[in-house]
Amino acid sequence: MNQASEKDLQDVKRHVRQHLIIAVGLALGTLFTLWTSQTNFGSHSLNIAITLCVAAAQAFMVAGFFMHLLSEKKMIYCFLVFTAVFFVVMMAITVFAHMDTNVVHYQQ
Amino acid sequence: MDIPYTVERREDTGLYNAKLGVWLFLASEVMLFGALFSSYILLRVGAPDGTWPRHWLDYKLGAVNTIVLIISSVTNVVAWANLKLGDFKKYRSYQAITIVCAFTFLGIKSNEYWGKFHHYTITTKAGRIADGHLQKAETTADKVVIDGHWVADASELMDPKPNETEQKIEIERKDIAEMKNYGPARNNFTGLYFTMTGLHVLHIIGGIIVIIAFWGPLSGMWKTEPERYTNRVEVAGLFWSFVDLVWLFIFPCFYLL
């Protein structure tokens, strides 16, 4: 463990370089998010969509590279698929709740 | 009793147990923050036009905090990579930067909280509205002093103009009908803001405690069980990156949109 081979050393150096590039990408993403939020794209909904897409791309970079999710074991992907399903269901309930306009007004 | 699979991988999962455990924990965290984000969406899209505040938070501070968290995530991963290479000294140096970044984040966040708790909207009995930051040193039992401006209509407060000229406003306490700060009880926006960022701050504090513990008091394990120690640092790092990931969504939702 303490005596890392030359190959390990090169591997880690490559990973460190990769992480630095990702960090620069994340910082640029943050600046881009600031720009999109200040720019008028015609509708506020479009601004929200673009800003959230950039945030999702940044989240992908953090999960994929910093958390090594791109090269993880199958078992972890299984957990995350289940989590994603429950998450989507929860968000769908939110959307359905918002779409439910069947409000009954009772006269007093 | 020895805890199994702290270093070697289980054949069925291909992972050491702590890693499996932390990913399960992170999955539950996704649902926790997901529930809060879904509340945010529901309240936000359900808010009538003009009632959801805009520009209440300083986006520059939010952006600085985002960059600070990104730096801390990188140094955290690089610190772990150095442990993998057996370079404990470099690990400690990089992790020290992570700790400094974490405290910087908390410093900026507490400054923002301080600002919100000292920012008041005062409605006088005559119906006039003043908005600004409380000047505690000049406020007495008889009068309240704020640095702010008079507002023609309460709806103006929902999207304040940038660069509004501030002036010192003195109001006699007997003339005040209502005095409300920008704390969690003000409206749905501040309620969600304090709940979500507060929960996030608790995660940051938890992360710092663990990182400092491994950096200092528990670092003796490096001499006795280096692989187990490296795995512990990796698991803490996964949690730390997740905390960064959550902030990447909190920042645009509250500061920009």
Residue A108 domain-assigned? Answer: no
Residues in B closer than 8 angstroms to A58, CB to CB, are: 248
Q: How far apart are CA B144 and CA B148, in angstroms?
A: 12
My answer on whether A59 and A77 are in the same domain is no
| Mean pLDDT of the B185-201 span | 96
Q: Which amino acid is at B77?
A: V
My answer on whether B173 and B84 are in the same domain is no
Q: Is there a contact between A3 and B13 if contact means CB atoms under 8 Å apart?
A: no
Question: Count H helices, E strands: chain A?
Answer: 3, 0
The total number of structural domains in chain B stands at 2
Q: What is the pTM of this model?
A: 0.91
Q: Is there a contact between B23 and A90 if contact means CB atoms under 8 Å apart?
A: no
In tens, the pLDDT along B80-130 reads 999 988 999 999 999 999 999 999 999 999 999 999 999 999 999 999 999
My answer on whether B109 and B176 are in the same domain is no
**Per-residue model confidence (pLDDT) at position B251:** 95
- Domain termination site, one of B181, B202, B222: B181
Structural domain range at position B164: 118-181
My answer on whether A61 and A78 are in the same domain is no
CATH number of the CATH domain containing B135: 2.30.30.100
Q: Is there a contact between B31 and A23 if contact means CB atoms under 8 Å apart?
A: no
**Per-residue model confidence (pLDDT) at position B105:** 98
Residues in A closer than 8 angstroms to B222, CB to CB, are: none
**Per-residue model confidence (pLDDT) at position B12:** 83
Most confidently modeled range among A5-9, A29-33, B85-89, B97-101: B97-101
State the smallest CA–CA distance between residue A105 and chain B in angstroms: 18
pLDDT band for position B10 (cuts 50, 70, 90): confident
| Mean pLDDT of the B32-61 span | 91
The total number of structural domains in chain A stands at 2
**Per-residue model confidence (pLDDT) at position A102:** 63
CATH number of the CATH domain containing B51: 1.20.120.80
A48 and B CB contact within 8 Å: yes
My answer on whether A61 and A93 are in the same domain is no
Query: Over the Cα atoms of chain A, what is R_g?
Result: 22
Q: How far apart are CA B165 and CA B79, in angstroms?
A: 47
Query: Average pLDDT, whole number, for chain B?
Result: 93
What single DSSP character describes residue B169?
Answer: E
| Mean pLDDT of the B195-220 span | 96
Q: Is there a contact between A34 and B59 if contact means CB atoms under 8 Å apart?
A: yes
My answer on whether B63 and B148 are in the same domain is no
Residue B211 domain-assigned? Answer: yes
Confidence check: pLDDT of A2 > 50: no
pLDDT band for position A101 (cuts 50, 70, 90): low
Residue A44 domain-assigned? Answer: yes
Residue A4 domain-assigned? Answer: yes
**Between A4, A26, A52, which is nearest B252 by CB?**
A52
Q: How far apart are CA B198 and CA B195, in angstroms?
A: 5
What single DSSP character describes residue B54?
Answer: -
My answer on whether A8 and A59 are in the same domain is yes
My answer on whether A49 and A92 are in the same domain is no
Structural domain range at position A44: 1-67
